Chain A
Amino acid sequence: MTSAAVAVSDVAVSRNGHWLLQEVSFEAAPGEVVGIVGPNGAGKSTLLRVLAGDIHPSRGDAFLLGQTAATLTLRQLALIRGFVGPQTASEVAFLVRKVVAMGRHPYGDEDGEAARQIVDETLQRLDVDGLAHRELRTLSSGEQQRVAIARAVVQDTGVLLLDEPTSTLDLRHQELVMEVLRQLAAEAKSVVAVLHDLNLAAAYADRILLMAGGRVQAFGTPQEVLTSDRLSAAYDRAVEVMRHPFRDCPLVLSAG
């Protein structure tokens, strides 16, 4: 048991005799944004799904708000953590507003006044209020991704898990989404996001978990983790890290 909002303790996941994760441990406190970074196949999404309760670890435990994720019911999980998966094109014919309001399903108050208020606020917050009365399937992939994030925000959970939440977003909306995640952290929520953009992770994450080969390579502040040596080794490519000219964080450049 731990007081951290999110805690992973010596987690290992094996599938068909292949270890997807080994000896993974980290914690995220309430009010903290943790970015998980690493090359393809590092085990980032698997780790996020362990946290979401989708995958039960072969060894170790994942804790959400002090409770073991693997022992919680689906509804209990839905009241504790929101999850935004990797973006895929949706053919759903529901209106955007209705889709976002589905985030209230675990509470059963989709049509209530409180739900209406949080839905309206979140639509504006993620700049999808102008799309509220469009069918989800008519939106671009980037717009659909913001709607998926809005739905998870409306779920109003203490922990928010996101798998590549900015993968289809333009520059402005990448920054917008990351700013929203920071605001949520400021509301004492714990945010854990898999990010491929190391500079977004550097700019917005309090701490970064660098993974490779299913193992944790480093965990700490962006300045501690995003070093040229560590990143070059993890990505098997020459990477340079310098001070960001405008932000108080590292700037990562591919030097290949």
Chain B
Amino acid sequence: MAGVVATAEQSRRSVVSLYLLMGLLLLIVTLGGLLLGAVSVTLADVWHMLGVKTGLSDRAENLTDSVLWAIRLPRVLAGALVGAGLGVAGVGLQGTFRNPLADPHLVGIAPAAGLGAIAGIAVTPAGGGSLLLMLGAVVGAVMVGLLMRRLAANTLDSGQLILIGLALGLALLALLGAVVLAWDSPRVPTFNFWIFGGLSGTTWGRLGAAVPFVVVGSGAVLWLGRSLDVLALGERDASHLGVDVGALTTFSLVAAGSAIGGAVGLAGVIGFVGLVVPLVLRRVVGPGHRHLAGVSALGGAIALVVLDTAARTLAAPIEIPVGLLTAICGAPVLVWVMLRRTP
């Protein structure tokens, strides 16, 4: 028995160490994202900007401060927020559908969020903020999430669910493309933004509108982690352990939909983050949803900050759509993980 307690303690310590390590890594890549770019910036510049903006420094604001504050900092923070939201939402969907391949993109939820965002833009008055855009994205994501749950109840296996999700997602993307092309308004981001995603032009206002949806949605997925663990035993066993499976899956899809809606409203449809990050980290922390969601938030944030920094610096002054990089990096990792999966 002492051995069991020691093992549990070791396990707890290693998870805490992982959180600390990933937190440190996120800090480093965030700083890297602030330093790298067309305008040369040093750590001292970052420090100066923070001092000026927080009122701790009485020195005058300079051009570098403006670049950092208005462009780079919101963009890097948006990358972290979107990556974290997609990582956690991926864990939530995988737990809800009891399918390790469930992903915001593959089950059609992210494209639905894109379509919902455009509907939100349509009803936003000229000069209005981004709140209706975000709300539209969340509503679109939640509606398709709940539709997929209904379909999942009638499908025979996990492969069918993914195929149905892919078909639905492609149809929604086609519809989204038709709407964007037909509308042709400067208020609507280009089709490229919706299919490949992008963080250029992130403003504090749009970031601020996305934060509540991503944070609350992600927090709810974390809170539901224990019940999602029990759901992994199967719906009947979970029900015998007191879990209201219908309520749990609805709440979980609303939570994941909120995080996905906020992420898509801010950065368009970015694939692979919600799939690959949890798949890789599941091998490190195991299948427990609470820790998996926690480390996937950090892992998703790190991945997207790094890839977005690469997207705007690798071929500067041309910017590579970040969704291209997540696909290029994510696809081989996905194949590797799937080939190494325990039968």
* A102 lies within 8 A of B230 (CB): yes
Q: Are B288 and A94 in contact (CB under 8 A)?
A: yes
- A85/B236 contact (C-beta < 8 A), A74-B244, A105-B230, A105-B242 known: yes
Q: A105-B226, A110-B226, A116-B5 are known contacts. Are A92 and B233 too (CB-CB below 8 A)?
A: yes
Q: Tell which of B1, B4, B233, B342 touches A99, judged by Cβ atoms closer than 8 Å.
A: B233
| Inter-chain contact B244/A133, CB cutoff 8 Å | no
Query: Chain B: how many interface residues by the 8 Å CB criterion?
Result: 24
Contact between B241 and A103 (Cβ–Cβ < 8 Å)? yes
By the criterion CB–CB under 8 Å, are B240 and A52 in contact?
A: yes
Chain A neighbourhood of B244, CB < 8 A: 74
Collect the chain A residues with CB atoms within 8 Å of residue B4's CB.
Answer: 97, 116, 120, 132
Q: Closest Cβ of chain B: how far from A129's Cβ, in Å?
A: 8
B241: chain A residues within 8 A (beta carbon): 78, 102-103, 105-106, 155
The answer to whether B1 touches A106, judged by C-beta atoms less than 8 angstroms apart, is: no
Q: How many A-B residue pairs have CB under 8 A?
A: 62
Q: Is there contact, CB below 8 Å, between B286 and A94?
A: yes
Size class of the contact patch on chain A: 20 to 34
The reply to whether the CB of A95 lies closer than 8 angstroms to some CB of chain B is yes
Q: Hey, which chain B residues are within 8 Å of A82, CB to CB?
A: 240
- Tell me, in angstroms, the Cα distance from A92 to B235 when the chains sit together: 13
CA–CA, A228 and B242, complex, Å: 42
Taking the closest CB of chain B, its distance from the CB of A159, in whole angstroms, is 12
Q: Name the interface residues of B218-236: CB closer than 8 Å to any CB of A.
A: 226-227, 229-230, 232-234, 236
Whether a CB of chain A sits under 8 angstroms from the CB of B237 is yes
Q: Is the CB of A79 within 8 A of B233?
A: no
A93: contacting residue among B8, B226, B287, CB under 8 A: B287
The answer, among A54, A75, A116, A132, for a CB contact under 8 Å with B242, is: A75
B7 within 8 A of A: yes
- Chain B residues with Cβ below 8 Å from A78 are 240-242
Q: Does B239 contact A (CB under 8 A)?
A: yes
Q: Are A79 and B242 interface neighbours, CB within 8 A?
A: yes
Whole-angstrom CA separation of A90 from B287 in the bound complex: 14
B131 CB, min distance to chain A CBs, angstroms: 36
A31–B83 Cα distance when bound, in Å, is 55
* Residues in chain B near residue A99, CB distance under 8 A: 233
B7 surroundings in chain A (CB, below 8 A): 133
Contact A95 B286 (CB under 8 A): yes
**Does chain A have a CB within 8 A of B324?**
no
Cα–Cα, bound, A98→B234 (Å): 15
Q: Considering the complex, give the chain A residue whose CB is closest to the CB of B233.
A: A92
The answer for the CA separation of A95 and B286 in the assembled complex, in Å, is 9
Set of chain B residues within 8 Å of A93, measured between Cβ atoms: 232, 286-287, 342
Give chain A nearest CB distance to B4 CB in angstroms. 6
Complex CA–CA separation, A54 to B238 (angstroms):
12
Name A57-85 residues within 8 Å CB distance of B: 74-75, 77-79, 82-83, 85
In the complex, chain A residues whose CB is within 8 Å of the CB of B229: 94, 98, 102
Q: Is the CB of B243 within 8 A of A85?
A: no
Inside 8 A of B237's CB, which chain A residues have their CB? 85
A92's contact among B5, B8, B226, B232, by CB below 8 Å, is which? B232
**What residue of chain B has the Cβ atom nearest to residue A155's Cβ?**
B241
Task: Find A98's partner among B236, B239, B243, B288 (CB 8 Å cutoff).
Answer: B288
Note all chain A residues with C-beta closer than 8 A to B288: 94, 98
Contact A83 B240 (CB under 8 A): yes
CA distance A96 to B95 in the complex (A): 19
Distance between B38 CB and nearest chain A CB, rounded to angstroms = 46
- Residues in B neighbouring A94, C-beta threshold 8 A: 229, 232, 286-288
CB within 8 Å of B: which A197-248 residues: none
**Residues B286 and A106 in contact, CB atoms below 8 Å apart:** no
Jot down 16 A-B pairs with beta carbons below 8 A, ordered by A. A52-B240, A75-B242, A78-B242, A79-B242, A85-B240, A92-B232, A93-B232, A94-B288, A98-B229, A98-B288, A105-B227, A106-B242, A120-B4, A132-B4, A135-B342, A155-B241
